[in-house]
Structure 1
Amino acid sequence: EALFLIEEILGTRVRPSSSASLVIHEGVEDIRLPSKEAYSLEVLPKERRIDLHVSSSRALLYALETIRQLSSPNDGGLRIPEAKVLDWPLFQFRGVVEGFYYDPWSWNQRREVIRKLSLFKMNSYIYAPKHDPYHRERWRERYPEGWITEFGKLVSTCKRWHVDFFFALSPGLSVIYSSREDEELILRKFLEMAEIGANGFCLFLDDIPEKLAHSEDLERYSSLAEAQADLVNRILRRLRKEVPGAKMMFCPTRYAGTDLGSYFEELCRLMDEEVLIMWTGPQVCSKRITVDDAKNLEKEAGDRLVIWDNYPVNDYARNRLNLGPLKGRDPRLYKLIRGVFSNPMNEPYASLLPLATFADYLWNPESYDPADSWNRALKLLYGNCSEPVAFLSRQLGSSILWPEEPEELRILRKLADNPEENEELSNYFSKLSSLKEKLEACGGKVLDLLEEASAYLTKLHLYGEAGLKLLRLSEERGERAFERWVEFLGLLISAEDIREAAGEVPHFDERGWRISGRRFLCEALLDASREIFRRKGWPSLLLLPYSTIRYQVDGCSPWHMIDGRLDTSYMTTRKVRSGDVVGVDLGDSLQINSVRIEGGREGQRESIRGMLQYSTDGNYWRDLAEVRTPVFEVRFSDLRARYLRVLSEATEKPVSISLFQVQTVPYSVKASKGSKTTPYCLIDGRLDTYFEIRRAEPGDWVLIDLGEYKWVEGVLIFQDPTYFARDLRILGSDDGKRFKSFGRVRRIVQGVKISEELRYLKLEVLREQGLARIYQVQIT
């Protein structure tokens, strides 16, 4: 075993003729430490010898991993500096509980992660994926033969790498606690695992109703705690007879908080004293866990308390990655807590980076520093590719529980004030654009992470390309500048259409299980666009849509409710919860004339229902009108606001919104033929929407009513660089009947001088063509 570990961990073959020696002394008495995981090592360069004192085979593995981290390659061998180390862990149980919802890890991924856990000096793994059907929903059924074979390989991997394997069952949705039959079924499942070498077992009764449900149990037990303790005790008694060294762990139904009431007190009093009891901290996903938090529970549980730590798990936020380090854990917790099990992400390889910091904390919490640990973990996992992985983490906001603004935000803040191309901004956007390519070039060390983060990297690439376009746009003029804008807009919306959150600092509200975020990349790009447009004298209104509903359908982001198109929609994959919001940020406080909201795909998805609200600052909100119908419109005579939103009611289906149109211009528009876009897009003051004419024919027209006689100096027409009307006549009228021609438009961006008092403006098509898109008629 020593030879295997040396060759696997140090990556060098053991040769009898070698001039250097590794001397292993086994036995805890050699180093006088009361730990089976303790080791000491001394590197003696002059004697070309390393002395190891280890208390167990597991301690040998840990010692060799320390040597690996101290060493560097040297002519087919290793160069190791002089060193003297005496080390042991402070937490007894240091591990991972694969306990998340949705897609479980594959068998191969589990084996790879277990090997990494061992090298991180973690010692436990709990198998408990919620969406293994035989673990929870169909727990009474036996595992198929193929599954048992895979479990056997998994247990063998754990043994080889000195990681304790725990098998968990979660029968709480249907178990009858008093039933002998259910007891036998649970025991049968556990004994199947014992036959392939497992001796660690868990009963998880989390996320189930807090009341007894079956008549048999109501007759026999006075409380849920009594029923659960009785079942666990019966199972454990029988396991002890069948499985040498059997260990049991239990996750209670109430598992979060600092006072779990009589339920927890009774559970601890009645349950066998050797059963470890799990707790997630003061919250389900706890930002901080202190000694004071644990004291009340430790008084009742004694030395049986272990933490189920819900970080870096992301099953409640499947469009985010948590790559940042563990934070907020009291360095003294080991004095009250037997161990900690991290609940990782559905993405196993992305989980490794935060798990490595968990391992550092669990080994020596008193000297744990999150930033130092994270930097070491980056180097350990990714070597020379550490920097691009760290850059990726920063662009994702680090983590949901402990979000951090990226250091690059300092650069982005310059963009709105000075949107001209400059080296620092150009380098940042280029770095975003090339990040995926750079990680691909790293090869094996990051390929697995690359696959899991692919959508995030694609989104950052699109943001980067958009940023580069914007920098060039600021230097361009006329048609060329507008062509750049349309290219930029396509990249920005393509990025926003990817549901994974990147370029965003998350904000998590556990009370409502809602995650919002500061979209620093999108916001900076829009702010800079507004400033560029102001400098060019172009329309500068740009809306930022937002939503707290989980999750958008790929390609159907909130942008599609403000794009003016009736054939696109913002669509979600989850039904709306009460209190979710959908809204828009106008960028500044403006006069609001009307709001129109249209639901999409009737019969398949529901339109939003709730209360339309407004705010000038985003903090204080006032009600405007109830939204009850699939097509809703309300007009205002005196309303100024920057933010508009619908505070929603719960729905039974996912939502679809094809239009969330805020009218800030007091003009009206109508067209001679129908369109998949709203005519208001022509005059909405925005260059990110357009009015589309399909099969444009001579005589087709659009009429703009200014509402009253106005002096019109001229108009500036913005058209799509590809689908522009090749010949448009611009006409004006004071009565809407007799029109005077002021000129023709044949270019992408072209102005026409008017210098008259008018009420009506008319755009008339003079040449037949398949498609024409007019972005804006800017009236001066």
Structure 2
Amino acid sequence: MMPDLGLVDARFGRIWSEEERSYVVSTLAAAGYTFYHYSPKADRALRRDWRQPHSAEQTAMLGRLSAQVRATGMRFGIALTPVGSTHPFDDQARADLARRVADLDAIGVDDLAIFFDDLRGDMPDLAARQAEVVNFCAGLTKATSVYTCPTYYADDRILDVVFGERPANYLADLGRLLAPDVQVYWTGEEVCSRAIGPAHLARVARELGRKVCLWDNYPVNDGARMSRFLHLRALTGRDPANAVHISGHALNPAVQAHLSCIPALTLPMLYRQGEDYAYGAAFNDASRHLLGDDFAARLQDDVLLFQDIGHERLGARAERLRDRYAGIDHPAARDILRWLKGDDIMTDEEVQTQ
């Protein structure tokens, strides 16, 4: 069984160029993906400055993106993170939300998402206020589907450490109060889950009162720690039997657009092949399809260095890698060279200001 597959472009770090995003859209559409949700943390008009409209230039770019995504047959969505709208959810918040939802509708969205991830959660009646905001937006939008991401979007206790202790019965209350057709993103037992299985998903569905849409934090590599690695290997630890327990499965991509497509192509393979899926063979197939035999063979030899050793421990091997990929005329090779140079390495300060 093949679930609804998508990309939730919701990471920290630099925003992809139009050329990069266009490549990702066309590549994933050809592989069978069905939706693309745009919500990079660095887009301030969707997050910290959400009450302000996008500039004319940004609006035109999003219009072009919407047209391209829809032309491939995929659904296009935009996610708004309305910081400060829940407490208080007053007349001003309602007016600002109504205006911004109208702005996004005018761009052209099939899916509207309202996100509360990475926001403080130790506030009174959190689930009720968040559900009220989502339901309000759902009643206004022309989009045919509405998604949300809770503040506590995983079982992982690190969320309680960073954003405050989660309220008792938060997930059950949120599910009970949200409109029945709102889809809820969920990352699993951890923020970056090493494994996701049917038993966990069935338990969350019972608690929430609906199937979740998986927000799979792979191959994402944002933040001060993860940006020092390139996540290239095929998907592992995702049970094909998950398909009956979810409404969809979306990957959160890496900073490197072209390289992200290698593991992204293995997601439909996982569901299509079921018990016959082998992640090594899937990586070989995806990388050869996208890069050609020679480039893919080089990358296979160096996966350990990129994904496990990491930027800071490469030492003298960094120069060899630069020489090894400098002669390849391919955007994915330029992704690697940019990373080796340190251009995509992030700091804690960069994350905290997005």
TM-score class normalised by the smaller sequence = 0.7 to 0.9
Q: Partners in 1 of 2:61 and 2:218 — Cα distance? A: 27
Q: Partners in 2 of 1:399 and 1:364 — Cα distance? A: 30
Which residue of structure 2 lines up, in the alignment, with residue 368 of structure 1? 277
Higher relative contact order (CA 8 A, sep 6+): 2
Aligned pairs for 1:579-598 within 5 A:
none
Question: Does the CA-based 8 Å contact 1:281-1:307 persist in structure 2?
Answer: yes
Deviation (angstroms), 1:398: 5.2
Which residue of structure 1 lines up, in the alignment, with residue 352 of structure 2? none
Correspondence for 1:280 among 170, 178, 187: 187
Q: Which amino acid aligns with 1:374?
A: F
Secondary structure of 2:97's aligned partner = helix
RMSD of aligned residue pairs (Cα, Å): 2.7
- Pick the structure with greater CA Rg: 1
Which residue of structure 2 lines up, in the alignment, with residue 328 of structure 1? 237
Question: Does the CA-based 8 Å contact 1:323-1:399 persist in structure 2?
Answer: no
Which residue of structure 1 lines up, in the alignment, with residue 25 of structure 2? 114
Q: Residue 448 in 1 paired to residue 331 in 2? A: yes
Q: Residue 268 in 1 paired to residue 175 in 2? A: yes
Aligned pairs for 1:190-589 within 5 A:
190-212=101-123, 223-239=125-141, 243=142, 246-257=144-155, 261-316=168-223, 317-384=226-293, 385-397=295-307, 435-443=321-329, 447-454=330-337
Q: Which amino acid aligns with 1:256?
A: A
Q: Partners in 2 of 1:278 and 1:394 — Cα distance? A: 31
Q: Partners in 2 of 1:128 and 1:500 — Cα distance? A: 19
Question: Does the CA-based 8 Å contact 1:314-1:345 persist in structure 2?
Answer: yes
Identity %: 25
Which residue of structure 2 lines up, in the alignment, with residue 709 of structure 1? none
Q: Partners in 1 of 2:41 and 2:247 — Cα distance? A: 24
Residue by residue over 1:490-519, the C-alpha shift from the partner in whole angstroms, topping out at 9 and shown as x without a partner, is xxxxxxxx7999xxxxxxxxxxxxxxxxxx
Q: Partners in 1 of 2:197 and 2:118 — Cα distance? A: 24
Q: Partners in 1 of 2:206 and 2:5 — Cα distance? A: 22
Instruction: Assess, with a 3 A threshold, how the Cα gap between structure 1 residues 208 and 365 changes in structure 2: closer, same or farther.
Output: farther
Secondary structure of 2:169's aligned partner = helix
Q: Residue 179 in 1 paired to residue 90 in 2? A: yes
Deviation (angstroms), 1:397: 3.7
Q: Which amino acid aligns with 1:251?
A: C
Q: Partners in 1 of 2:18 and 2:343 — Cα distance? A: 27
Question: Does the CA-based 8 Å contact 2:5-2:248 persist in structure 1?
Answer: yes
Instruction: Assess, with a 3 A threshold, how the Cα gap between structure 1 residues 173 and 366 changes in structure 2: closer, same or farther.
Output: farther
Question: Does the CA-based 8 Å contact 1:251-1:278 persist in structure 2?
Answer: yes
* Higher share of residues assigned strand: 1
Q: Partners in 2 of 1:262 and 1:100 — Cα distance? A: 28
Deviation (angstroms), 1:350: 1.8
Deviation (angstroms), 1:381: 0.5
Which residue of structure 2 lines up, in the alignment, with residue 94 of structure 1? 5
* Higher share of residues assigned helix: 2
Secondary structure of 1:250's aligned partner = strand
Question: Does the CA-based 8 Å contact 2:47-2:81 persist in structure 1?
Answer: yes
Q: Partners in 1 of 2:26 and 2:344 — Cα distance? A: 29
Q: Which amino acid aligns with 2:213?
A: V
Q: Partners in 2 of 1:172 and 1:100 — Cα distance? A: 17
Q: Partners in 1 of 2:130 and 2:27 — Cα distance? A: 35
Which residue of structure 2 lines up, in the alignment, with residue 68 of structure 1? none
Instruction: Assess, with a 3 A threshold, how the Cα gap between structure 1 residues 500 and 199 changes in structure 2: closer, same or farther.
Output: closer
Q: Which amino acid aligns with 2:291?
A: Y
Question: Does the CA-based 8 Å contact 2:33-2:74 persist in structure 1?
Answer: yes
Deviation (angstroms), 1:193: 2.5
Deviation (angstroms), 1:293: 1.5
Residue by residue over 1:158-186, the C-alpha shift from the partner in whole angstroms, topping out at 9 and shown as x without a partner, is 01111211110011345545223322322
Q: Partners in 2 of 1:397 and 1:199 — Cα distance? A: 35
Residue by residue over 1:572-626, the C-alpha shift from the partner in whole angstroms, topping out at 9 and shown as x without a partner, is x669xxxxxxxxxxxxxxxxxxxxxxxxxxxxxxxxxxxxxxxxxxxxxxxxxxx
Question: Does the CA-based 8 Å contact 1:137-1:173 persist in structure 2?
Answer: no
Question: Does the CA-based 8 Å contact 2:192-2:216 persist in structure 1?
Answer: yes
Deviation (angstroms), 1:238: 2.3
Deviation (angstroms), 1:322: 0.9
Deviation (angstroms), 1:365: 4.2
The normalised TM-score by structure 2 is 0.85
Q: Partners in 1 of 2:129 and 2:178 — Cα distance? A: 10
Deviation (angstroms), 1:449: 1.7
The normalised TM-score by structure 1 is 0.40
Q: Partners in 1 of 2:275 and 2:96 — Cα distance? A: 44
Consecutive unaligned residues in structure 1, runs of 5 or more = 1-88, 213-217, 401-428, 459-497, 502-550, 552-572, 576-780
Question: Does the CA-based 8 Å contact 1:97-1:342 persist in structure 2?
Answer: yes
Question: Does the CA-based 8 Å contact 2:85-2:133 persist in structure 1?
Answer: no
Secondary structure of 2:44's aligned partner = coil
Q: Partners in 2 of 1:153 and 1:206 — Cα distance? A: 27
Farther off after superposition, 170-179 or 185-194 = 170-179
Residue by residue over 1:125-154, the C-alpha shift from the partner in whole angstroms, topping out at 9 and shown as x without a partner, is 111111111011100001111111111100
Question: Does the CA-based 8 Å contact 2:29-2:74 persist in structure 1?
Answer: yes
Q: Partners in 1 of 2:234 and 2:85 — Cα distance? A: 38
Question: Does the CA-based 8 Å contact 1:96-1:342 persist in structure 2?
Answer: yes
Q: Partners in 1 of 2:192 and 2:2 — Cα distance? A: 23
Q: Which amino acid aligns with 2:118?
A: D
Deviation (angstroms), 1:399: 8.8
Q: Residue 166 in 1 paired to residue 77 in 2? A: yes
Q: Which amino acid aligns with 2:334?
A: E
Q: Partners in 1 of 2:244 and 2:156 — Cα distance? A: 17
Q: Which amino acid aligns with 2:134?
A: V
Q: Partners in 1 of 2:232 and 2:73 — Cα distance? A: 26
Residue by residue over 1:620-669, the C-alpha shift from the partner in whole angstroms, topping out at 9 and shown as x without a partner, is xxxxxxxxxxxxxxxxxxxxxxxxxxxxxxxxxxxxxxxxxxxxxxxxxx
Instruction: Assess, with a 3 A threshold, how the Cα gap between structure 1 residues 341 and 176 changes in structure 2: closer, same or farther.
Output: same
Which residue of structure 1 lines up, in the alignment, with residue 42 of structure 2? 131
Secondary structure of 1:453's aligned partner = helix
Which residue of structure 1 lines up, in the alignment, with residue 313 of structure 2? none
Length, aligned pairs only: 332
Farther off after superposition, 177-186 or 195-204 = 177-186
Q: Which amino acid aligns with 1:246?
A: T
Q: Which amino acid aligns with 1:192?
A: D
